[in-house]
Amino acid sequence: MRRAFTLIELLVVIAIIAILAAILFPVFAQAKEAAKKTQAISNQKNLGLAFILYTADHDDVLPNVTWQDSFNSAYSIPNPYGEKWNGSLAWPISLIPYHKNDTKRGNRSSILISPNDVSLANFTKPDFKIMLQAVNWPNWEQFGTDWKTNAQIFPLSFCANYGLSYSWASTGPGVWNATGYTGPRAMTTVLAPANTIFTTEYGQGIAGAYQANVYSNYYCQLGYGGVDRWKNGRRYSGGRTFTFVDGHAKFLKDPVKIEDLSGNSSQLQLQIRESYAAKNVFDIPDRDQL
């Protein structure tokens, strides 16, 4: 007689394989997630180095990290796409010569894109278009208010710390107040560079009661623009990656449950700022001394 598997034996083997798969698949998924998180940290590290190289070439002054560093109704250059422009470029463009890894022509391996950013955070503020036109960015003429189109033209997963600019006006006690000068700060004005962020992850906004437009930005404060953009930047194991002014980068879990946050932008900023107080990653310690 020829020996063969019985039906019971075959079912037992299949059951064992299914159990092993159920055990191993989550492990594989976690390993894949860890690899992507490591890649995001590497991207952030390279961004931090690009910031430092830029300041070395520009008398210690940082690139533009807020909207008002480049756009304001008082500036001199007419902008057919929005507010007037002062002719200077925001950091996502001005840092490109220092890392040479942009998102032109469909490059999805750029350090400007976080590996887990599936929606491709981007801009729907049309003002940004004049910068793209100035540097002859591919398909700049198609840039506008449609985020899906913009996501293909200039995707960006990270935002810079709004506090690294003199353009940030006072919003309450303990928040640094501009003293007449606008524009990015000098590196040497940051007294705690290891605890002050350059960039962190930011996500796609969602239209709603507070945020009328669907866009993320290249600048951020804690909770700026409603909870959705902050929540959608949480791409890895309940947290996000950061790069700091001294050049190091790391992953930090969010210290609060984002889904429990509510309210307007100022309220969100206060809640998240308080939750991050022990980590001291957003607020610049020397603000009140300036």
Q: How confident is the model at residue 180 (pLDDT cuts 50, 70, 90)?
A: low
User: 158: alpha, beta or left, given left = phi > 0 and alpha = psi -120 to 50?
Assistant: beta
User: What is the per-residue pLDDT for 288?
Assistant: 40
CA end-to-end span of the chain = 93
Better-scored residue on pLDDT, 269 or 158: 158
**Distance from C-alpha of 238 to C-alpha of 138, rounded to nearest angstrom:** 35
Are the CB atoms for 173 and 127 separated by under 8 Å?
no
Q: Is it the case that residue 269 has pLDDT exceeding 80?
A: no
Q: Is it the case that residue 174 has pLDDT exceeding 90?
A: no
Which H or E element spans position 228? Answer: helix 227-231
**How large is the greatest C-alpha to C-alpha distance in the chain, in angstroms?**
97
